[in-house]
């Protein structure tokens, strides 16, 4: 958070995820977890296709919210598709009945 707030304050100072991973010495997975944790605590970490930044305006926060809602919608669609795919599988055997 301190790095983003100091060096990347506002959308115009966006930093790519790969660069942030190097600066902080974390993996991409760990970076996403850190960002998620900070956002859950109310820290205004913004993001775009170009990377991450510390949001300075409500508009930057709203833009990130719209992006996250789109991602959530895509995940929900993928879940529905996988649930539909389950119809093509045989029901699992009830192992409690024995062979």
Cα(57)–Cα(13) distance, rounded to whole angstroms?
Answer: 13
**Partners of 53 in the beta sheet?**
46
Q: Is the pLDDT of residue 24 over 70?
A: yes
Q: Is the pLDDT of residue 98 over 90?
A: no
Any domain includes 42: yes
Any domain includes 97: no
> Residue range 72-86: average pLDDT?
96
Cα(87)–Cα(15) distance, rounded to whole angstroms?
Answer: 43
pLDDT score recorded for residue 94: 67
pLDDT score recorded for residue 6: 75
CATH number at residue 48: 1.10.10
Cα(9)–Cα(15) distance, rounded to whole angstroms?
Answer: 10
Tens digits of per-residue pLDDT, 31-68? 999 999 999 999 999 999 999 999 999 999 999 999 99
Provide φ and ψ at 53, rounded to 5°.
Answer: -160, 165
Any domain includes 95: no
Any domain includes 94: no
Domain count, the chain: 1
Q: Is the pLDDT of residue 92 over 90?
A: no
Helices H, strands E: what count in the chain?
A: 4, 2
Q: How many CA atoms lie within 13 A of 64 on its CB side?
A: 23
- What is the residue range of 57's domain? 2-85
Q: Is the pLDDT of residue 82 over 60?
A: yes
């Amino acid at each position: 958070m301190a790095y983003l707030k100091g060096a990347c304050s506002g959308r115009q100072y966006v930093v790519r995820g790969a660069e942030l991973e190097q600066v902080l010495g974390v993996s991409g997975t760990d970076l996403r977890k850190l960002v998620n944790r900070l956002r859950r605590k109310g820290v205004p970490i913004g993001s775009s296709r170009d990377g991450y930044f510390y949001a300075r305006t409500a508009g930057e926060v709203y833009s990130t919210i719209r992006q996250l809602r789109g991602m959530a919608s895509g995940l929900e669609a993928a879940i529905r598709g996988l649930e539909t795919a389950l119809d093509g599988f045989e029901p699992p055997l009830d192992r409690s009945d024995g062979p």
